[in-house]
Amino acid sequence: MAAQNLAPVSPTLASREFSFTAEDFGRIRDLIYRRVGISLSDRKSEMVYSRLARRLRVVNLGSFRDYLDALEKGHLPDEWEAFTNALTTNLTAFFREQHHFPILHEHAKAKRTPFTVWCSASSTGEEPYSIAITLAEAFGSMSPSQVSVIASDVDTNALARARAGIYPMERVAALSPERLKKYFLRGTGKHEGYARVRPELQAMIDFRQINLLDRDWPLQQKFDVIFCRNVMIYFDKPTQAKILEHFIDVMKPDGLLFAGHSESFLQVTKAWSLRGKTVYEIAPELRARMGAR
């Protein structure tokens, strides 16, 4: 079917600022899949329009077709980052899925330092700071010499917010008064209503931009723990398998992989086995081969 005969994705076209056809959505879906592995379902079309319409206004283009043509032809080289940031989701909270953190605490106490953790989808920072707090409490210290936490994301806007470590008070309200006092500074004056992560806690974390689809991750160490929570739901099964099997290359033989509450990896790959509720370990036969190396 010719592109000009394709119907708009949504019947709300008449109220839209920009025309948005099924072909436009298909191109966007293909581009974001090839770039970062995100698989967009048809029901995401309204979200895609809303988020990318802002980008059309910023770059002063009058149609999605012109915008996508400019991206693919290299006329907007700096726009790829904004395109990717617009289509990634950053839903997170401090100590989200709380049952994981006592497991992390006990696993850390049983290991020698330096203890290494990779938070592979750090979003705006709540998860890696929760990890760092847990490890500080496990080891009784916020010393970077004892703990190494790498926190990565593909979204550079989210990473900038994570590095800043500044949150509205309602974002930290669920933390205990003891944790708030020990790990955060309360804003005053123009910063009233905000809390900032203490520098000592920030020093435990190395924030980096990493695309999980990349063949070579810029990681030199092996990890005791990898957090990859509520990320795989955005990938199709072949992409999930590729990433999960790649994790083996950077994991210590007795390391743990933490997943999101709605994610199950057992039907995706045989490389991992279930250790507990959404907690995985390397499959025994594979772990035995790793130990024999």
pLDDT score at 12: 47
Residue 94 has pLDDT above 50, yes or no: yes
| 153 tagged catalytic | yes
pLDDT score at 15: 66
User: What tokens were used for 168?
Assistant: 């509205």
What is the 8-class DSSP label of residue 178?
H
Cα 292 versus chain centre, distance = 33
pLDDT score at 205: 97
Q: How many CB atoms are closer than 10 A to CB 277?
A: 11
What is the 8-class DSSP label of residue 218?
S
Instruction: Output the CA–CA distances (angstroms, integers) from residue 281 to 79, 133, 219, 258, in the order listed.
Output: 39, 23, 20, 9
> How confident is residue 248, by pLDDT bands cut at 50, 70 and 90?
very high
| 51 tagged catalytic | yes
Residue 190 has pLDDT above 60, yes or no: yes
Q: Which of 24, 153, 155, 224 is catalytic?
A: 153
Domains along the chain with CATH numbers = 3-87 (1.10.155.10), 100-291 (3.40.50.150)
Residue 134 has pLDDT above 60, yes or no: yes
Element spanning 173, H or E? none
Residue 9 has pLDDT above 70, yes or no: no
Q: What is the largest CA-CA distance in the chain?
A: 65
- 3-state DSSP helix/strand/coil % of the chain, to nearest 5: 45, 20, 35
257 and 276 Cβ atoms separated by less than 8 Å: no
Binding-site annotation: residue ranges: 90, 92, 96, 127, 153, 211-212, 229-230
Q: For residue 13, give every residue at least 6 positions away whose Cβ sits within 8 Å of its Cβ, in sequence order, or none.
A: 19, 20
pLDDT score at 2: 41
Average confidence score pLDDT of the chain? 89
| Cα–Cα dist 183/201, whole Å | 7
Do β-strands 194-197 and 184-186 pair in parallel, antiparallel, or remain unpaired?
A: antiparallel
Give the CA angle between residues 120, 123, 124 to the nearest 5°: 140
pLDDT score at 155: 92
What is the percent of the chain where pLDDT is above 90?
A: 66
| Cα–Cα dist 71/23, whole Å | 15
Binding-site annotation: residue ranges for S-adenosyl-L-methionine: 90, 92, 96, 127, 153, 211-212, 229-230
Residue 6 has pLDDT above 80, yes or no: no
Is pLDDT larger for residue 86 or for residue 225? Answer: 225
pLDDT score at 4: 42
Residue 117 has pLDDT above 60, yes or no: yes
pLDDT score at 40: 87
| Cα–Cα dist 25/9, whole Å | 8
Residue 8 has pLDDT above 80, yes or no: no
pLDDT score at 37: 82
Cα 188 versus chain centre, distance = 31
> How confident is residue 39, by pLDDT bands cut at 50, 70 and 90?
confident
Residue 5 has pLDDT above 70, yes or no: no
Do β-strands 279-282 and 251-259 pair in parallel, antiparallel, or remain unpaired?
A: antiparallel
Q: Which of 35, 51, 161, 186 is catalytic?
A: 51
